[in-house]
Chains A and B, each alone.
Chain A
Amino acid sequence: MTAAMTESQPSMAAQQDTLIRLQNLTVAYGDVVAVDGVDLTIGAGEILGLAGESGCGKTTVANSIMHILRPPARIAGGGILFRGDDLTAQSAEELRRHRWRNVSMVFQSAMNSLNPVMRVGDQFVDMMRAHERISKSGALDRAGELLDLVGIDRRRIRAYPHELSGGMRQRVIIAMALALRPELVLMDEPTTALDVVVQREILQQIRDLQAELGFAVLFITHDLSLLFEFAHRIAIMYAGEIVEEAPAARLRDEARHPYTLGLIRSFPSLTGPRERMTGIPGSPPDLSSPPHGCRFHPRCPHCTADDTALYRLQTTVRPVLRDIAPAHRVACHLVEQRG
């Protein structure tokens, strides 16, 4: 349990063994296309970070993989393959088994979702017994082990949620997500509501557990700065599309998409000169009528009428993700032109 936070090399296994493959996935809420033609893979044992501003479709991606979309949401196109099997073609019973066993999820603001009048241990037992044949005492034993694993005294199994701090509740939720030993854990903004110290403790712990147990993680956040240290690979999402994808260290040092660069320039640093930052002007588009061409063009500093040919491309033709280096893909006309 001593893997340093800074070892961010993707394991070779991750590259060989694809766990999840999203193929041209499109998800709509009525007229709102929240996820539009997303291609993304998650390797076994890999931590994939998914970053972007609120409203870009990150949670919708996770809900699709977990297969818990509810009307008005529907998969309007494409597929979700788990170890090669298309989930969109599976029966309700198969999907029920898929959830929590293959893939589990830590929901956005999950720490407030524990049942306030039920002891933590009983909530574990209920969840486990809904998915596998296990005795109550067996389930409680496992719950105790899991609490140990996330650094909570196992006697806390008798605690009620309000007796735990926010950070402890979030750790309980993470322990529950690990209970059925899934191969992939989806974490939707798991540390957003927590202060820096607790956030760092939890990230460190997820990293340790991941190294020990070997599950893969899809880690969703609007705070890209977290991912550079924590993720193996990072995908950037904007207005329903993936606009850039690269290994974490490469994205930190050689990001190319203007949106990614804008995100990177949005967080002040503790080191280096103290200089004024601009952030990204404007806000993400309303997805019921996204901008034509490149969806980022209304906010992009490189979209000016100076270069007429480029401007026409930016405002009329949707850029597609292209490899610019091994494992580094970018969807941007300018990057494509300049190479």
Chain B
Amino acid sequence: MTASISAPVEVRGLTKHFAAGTGLLRNRSRVHAVDDLTFALRAGTITALVGESGSGKSTVARLLARLYDPTSGSVLFEGNDVTSERSREDVLRYRSRVQMIFQDPFGSLNPVKTIRHHLSRPLRIHERVPRSGMDARLCELLVTVGLVPPEKFLEKFPHELSGGQRQRVAIARALAAEPTVLIADEPTSMLDVSIRVGILNLMLELKERERLAFLYVTHDLASARYVADIVLVMYAGQIVEQGPAERVLQRPLHPYTRLLLASVPDPAAGARERIEVRKGLASAAVDPPAGCRFVERCPLRVGICSEVTPELVAARPGHSARCHVTAPSPAIREDNHVESAHPALPR
């Protein structure tokens, strides 16, 4: 396995299953929260992981942050499989390089500690600066995330800041460890719309200036389009479509991506079709049988969809989907003539 500098993180066949149900209702069933994911996070690239709630996005983020051990599969950091590294030093080293930002900027900050405390802690833990350089580095971090003048913010407590400012502090804290990879799990969903743009712009700046590899987890496709280079669409534990952001979002292949797109409020979109209200996501990843996990909700389904599990197939260069109809594998196409069986896709 060659070390790949351009892709600091790669995951191969990453899988996480949980026991389904809770407490007394817990049974033998397994939720395939993350099932056989393979992708890379490249330096200077924002990869958006999109899908409805329950599709498995946060589990991916937590696996990457090593908050969970995978059921199977591996996480490579700079080419080395870190899945089996268990010593405290190894985990600490990994965590300093791969930092996570959470959804709720308030929940992730200690209310009785100042901003100085929050930012100096990672600097000390990861031994990033000598004591004498501490103040200068703290100010530098605050400036990086747009909290200026920095002196004004150092002695404040989280409740004295707005939601957007708190999320900036959380990002500064993540940056303190000098990571090469940032995992942001719905970092703007608790923020006002007017403040979201600022955080998204900050992500773009960090990507360009610091050449960070970003995983941006969101259900907001418009914001994914705004920041992302690559989009991974996740449904019921699987990646169902992936490719360059503009291709996936402007010329989607998978019916699920199309459903997500149709759900986004978009004033510029004009008259739009109604979306079909269907259920099934919650159960689609529980002991999934063979076949497509989206079949219950899919307007394009054909006979084989409930029998044969679709593979990720590159239907266009660099753009693949897991769908017998819109991205059939050569074998499926031959056997089933599916391409002639469905009307041309609009859009």
Q: Does A323 contact B (CB under 8 A)?
A: no
Q: Which residues of chain A come closer than 8 Å to B221, judged between CB atoms? A: 196, 270
Interface residues of A in 171-229 (CB under 8 A from B): 194-201, 204-205, 222-226, 228-229
Selected interface stretch from B35-43, B61-69, B267-275, B301-309: B267-275
B223 touches A268 (CB 8 A): yes
Q: Does B149 contact A (CB under 8 A)?
A: no
B268 touches A272 (CB 8 A): yes
Q: Does A338 contact B (CB under 8 A)?
A: no
A228 touches B267 (CB 8 A): yes
Q: Which residues of chain B come closer than 8 Å to A54, judged between CB atoms? A: 163, 192
Q: Which residues of chain B come closer than 8 Å to A229, judged between CB atoms? A: 265, 267, 272
CB within 8 A of A267: which of B222, B260, B271, B282? B222
Q: Does A289 contact B (CB under 8 A)?
A: no
Q: Which residues of chain A come closer than 8 Å to B164, judged between CB atoms? A: 283
16 contacts between A and B (CB under 8 A): A5-B272, A6-B270, A165-B54, A196-B264, A197-B52, A200-B265, A223-B265, A225-B266, A225-B267, A228-B267, A266-B194, A268-B223, A269-B266, A270-B249, A278-B201, A280-B194
Q: Does A290 contact B (CB under 8 A)?
A: no
CB within 8 A of B219: which of A195, A205, A271, A280? A195
Given the known interface contacts A196-B221, A222-B192, A224-B193, the answer about A274 and B265 at a Cβ–Cβ threshold of 8 Å is no
A277 touches B197 (CB 8 A): yes
B272 touches A204 (CB 8 A): no
A151 touches B226 (CB 8 A): no
Interface residue tally for chain B (C-beta within 8 Å): 43
A203-B226 Cα distance, complex, nearest whole Å? 24
Q: Which residues of chain A come closer than 8 Å to B282, judged between CB atoms? A: 165
Chain B's closest residue to A275 (CB) is B226
A196-B262 Cα distance, complex, nearest whole Å? 9
Q: Does A4 contact B (CB under 8 A)?
A: yes
B265 touches A226 (CB 8 A): yes
Q: Does A263 contact B (CB under 8 A)?
A: yes
Q: Does B220 contact A (CB under 8 A)?
A: yes
Q: Does B117 contact A (CB under 8 A)?
A: no
A251-B225 Cα distance, complex, nearest whole Å? 25
Provide the B267-305 mask, 1 if CB < 8 A to any CB of A, else 0.
111111011010000100000000000000000000000
A267 touches B269 (CB 8 A): no
B272 touches A6 (CB 8 A): yes
Chain A's closest residue to B249 (CB) is A270
B245 to chain A, nearest CB (A): 9
Q: Does B29 contact A (CB under 8 A)?
A: no
Chain A's closest residue to B200 (CB) is A268
Chain B's closest residue to A222 (CB) is B192
Given the known interface contacts A6-B272, A198-B52, A204-B277, the answer about A270 and B261 at a Cβ–Cβ threshold of 8 Å is yes
Given the known interface contacts A54-B163, A263-B194, A279-B198, the answer about A228 and B265 at a Cβ–Cβ threshold of 8 Å is yes
A263-B275 Cα distance, complex, nearest whole Å? 26
Interface residues of B in 153-192 (CB under 8 A from A): 162-164, 192
B35 to chain A, nearest CB (A): 20
Q: Which residues of chain A come closer than 8 Å to B222, judged between CB atoms? A: 267-270
Q: Which residues of chain A come closer than 8 Å to B223, judged between CB atoms? A: 268
Chain B's closest residue to A167 (CB) is B53
B194 touches A166 (CB 8 A): no
Chain A's closest residue to B220 (CB) is A196
A124 to chain B, nearest CB (A): 22
A108 to chain B, nearest CB (A): 13
Q: Does A142 contact B (CB under 8 A)?
A: no
Q: Which residues of chain B come closer than 8 Å to A280, judged between CB atoms? A: 194
CB within 8 A of A270: which of B195, B201, B219, B225? B225
Provide the A255-271 mask, 1 if CB < 8 A to any CB of B, else 0.
00000001110111111
Q: Does A86 contact B (CB under 8 A)?
A: no
Given the known interface contacts A196-B260, A201-B275, the answer about A222 and B193 at a Cβ–Cβ threshold of 8 Å is yes
Q: Does B314 contact A (CB under 8 A)?
A: no
Q: Does A39 contact B (CB under 8 A)?
A: no
B196 to chain A, nearest CB (A): 7
Interface residues of B in 52-77 (CB under 8 A from A): 52-54
Q: Does B338 contact A (CB under 8 A)?
A: no
Given the known interface contacts A197-B52, A225-B267, A279-B194, the answer about A4 and B260 at a Cβ–Cβ threshold of 8 Å is no
